[in-house]
Chains A and B, each alone.
Chain A
Amino acid sequence: MALKMETRNQMPKRIVEDKVLRFSAGERLSHWVHAISFFVLLFTGLGVLSTSFQPAMAIFGGIQVAQLIHRIAAIFFVVVVGLMFFVGNPRYHWRWLKFVFSFKKSDWQHVCAFPKEFFGGHGNYPEQEKYNGGEKINSLITIFGTIFITLSGVVMWFASSFPPALVRWAYPVHDLSMFIMTAAAIGHIYLGLLHPDSRAAMSGMINGYVSTKFARAHHREWYERLKKEQSMNEQKNV
C-alpha cells in the first residue's frame, strides 16, 4: 500500500495500527545499495592497502580483478544513491538532508548521553525528533565521507589526467575517509543488529515500519508530530 502511494508521489498514512512508517522504499534502496557497495569497496580496497590482505583477493580471481570490482562498485556507490535524489520520489532524501543538517541543542544532549547508552546504561536526554544526535552524526560522516572518498577516488582512478601534486594528496584523503567511515560503520552495525535497546529500529530499514512503542521510546517528538499531522489530515478529509 505504502509503496504504491509512494510511486504515485502521494504521502502514505504514517501511523498504521501499532506501526509507524519510518523509511520510504527509496530511502531503503539507497541505504542498502550504499551499504553493500561500501563493503565491496572496503574489501577490494584492502587488497591494495596491504599485502596481508592480498591472498584473500583470490576470492575474486586475483588482485587485478579486485581492482576492477573496486571501480565498478564505486559507480554504484555514487550513481545509484545520487540518482535517488532526483528520480522516483526524491522528497524523502532531501528531507533527510534537512534533518541532519539542523543540529540543535537537544542533539548535543543526546550525543553527551550516548556513551552511556552505547554500553547498555540509561542516559538522560530530551525527546528526539526523527533522527537523534548520534544518528545525525552518523549521517554527516556518511555524507562528507562519501564526498571526500569519491573525489579522491576519481583522482586516483584517472591519475594520469591530474597533476602529481594533487594525486599525492588524494591517497591520504582516501585512506582517512575510509578509516573514519569504517569506524562509524562498525558502531552503526552494532546499534542496528546487536544493541538490545536500539536494534528494534532495524525493521525500519527492512519493511519501512517501526513499532509505535519504539517510536515513542526513542523519537517521541517525531511520533507526536506525526500523530498531530495525521489527525489534522483526517479532519480535513471528513
Chain B
Amino acid sequence: MARKTVLIDTSLCTGCKACSVACKEWNELSAEKTQLLTSYQTQNAFTTKTWTYMTFVEKYEDQKMNWFMRKAQCFHCADPACMKACSSNAITKTESGYVVIDQEKCIGCGYCVENCPFGVPKVDQVKKKSYKCTGCIDRVENNLLPACVNTCQPGALSFGERDAMLTQAKKRLAEVQKTHPKAQLYGEKEMGGTTYLYLLLDSPEVYDLPVNPTVPLSLTLWKDVIRPVGTVAVGGAAAAVVLGVFANLFRGNYSNSDNKEGGKD
C-alpha cells in the first residue's frame, strides 16, 4: 500500500473534541477522569488510554486573542525514534507509513517513551506494555477512514495518498496565509516526513511543538556506534583469550613445573 497521509488543517478545526471521542470508541479505550487545565483544555499529555487529545493555546497580540487548537496524536514518523529505541523489535513501520506497537513483543522497558521527541508512547505499569495511536491501521487496511477523520465535521481532518495530500496542504496553506501570515506546514520534512501532517496557523513553538524534532543524538550514538563497537570489543577480548590459551599450550607453559608453583624466581 502506497504512503498515506492525514492532513490536520488547524484553520478549520473548531475544537469540538469529537475526534478524541471517536478514537476512544473505536479502540475501546475507557474514559478517564479529567479536569479543566485551561479554559477549554482537559488533558496535556497522552496516557495509555488517551491516544489523541486537543490542545488550546490562547495568544494575545495587539489586544486581540488568537486561539490555536491542535489535535495531538502520534505523528507516525518516516524516521521513528521510538522504533530505533525499541529493545524488543516490537515497533514496526508499514509501507503505508504507520508506526505500530506489537504488544505481544513489548516488554514495557519504556525506551520508546523516553526517545519519542513528542512524548507519545506511554507504558501501562501494571500490564508492562506500551500504547499509542495506531493510526487506525485496522480500518485503513480495510478501506475505512481512520475513526477521527471519519467523525470530523468541519473537515479539519482529511485522509488520502501522500502526494495528493501534500498538494492539497500547499493549496490550503497559500489560502490561509492571507489571514495568518505565519501559517506553515509541519511534518512535510520533520522526522523524515510524518504521516500526520499539520497546517499550523503560527510557528510550532506557539503550539508547544519542537521546532526541529530529530532522532536524539544519544540514540544514534547508542545504537549505531556503541552497540556495534562494543560487541566487537567484547568479541575481541574473547578471541584474545582463546588465542592466549593456544599460545600457552604451544609454548608448553601448562606443563612447566615452575608455573604450577607460582612462577620462576
Residues of chain A at the chain B interface (Cβ within 8 Å): 48-51, 54, 63-64, 67, 118-121, 159, 164, 167-169, 171-172, 175-176, 178-180, 182-184, 186-187, 189-190, 194-197, 200, 210-211, 213-218
Contact = CB atoms under 8 A, between A and B. Distances in A.
B250 to A, nearest CB: 8
B121 to A, nearest CB: 12
Given A49-B87, A196-B256, A200-B262, 11 more contacts: A119-B244, A168-B114, A172-B226, A176-B226, A180-B230, A183-B236, A186-B241, A187-B240, A197-B263, A216-B265, A217-B262
Contact of B221 (A159, A172, A178): A172
Given A48-B109, A63-B107, A197-B259, A120 B248 contact: yes
Majority secondary structure of chain A interface residues (helix, strand, loop or mixed) = helix
B253 interface: yes
Contact of A120 (B88, B231, B251): B251
B234 A179 contact: yes
Contacts of A64: 107, 128
A186 B218 contact: no
A197 B260 CA distance: 8
Interface in B50-97: 85, 87-89
B209 interface: no
* Chain B CB within 10 A, most for which of A196, A211, A215: A196
A222 to B, nearest CB: 14
Given A54-B88, A196-B256, A211-B261, A171 B218 contact: yes
A173 B237 CA distance: 20
B263 A200 contact: yes
B238 interface: yes
B98 interface: no
Nearest to B231: A179
B144 interface: no
Given A175-B222, A196-B253, A168 B216 contact: yes
Nearest to A216: B265
Given A120-B247, A120-B251, A159-B114, A172 B128 contact: no
B88 A187 contact: no
Contacts of B114: 159, 164, 167-168, 171
A200 to B, nearest CB: 4
B233 A190 contact: no
B189 interface: no
Nearest to B243: A119
B257 to A, nearest CB: 11
Given A51-B88, A159-B114, A214-B262, A169 B218 contact: yes
A164 B262 CA distance: 53
A1 to B, nearest CB: 22
Contacts of B119: 164
Contacts of A172: 218, 221-222, 226
B226 A213 contact: no
B10 interface: no
Nearest to A171: B222
Contacts of A187: 237, 240-241
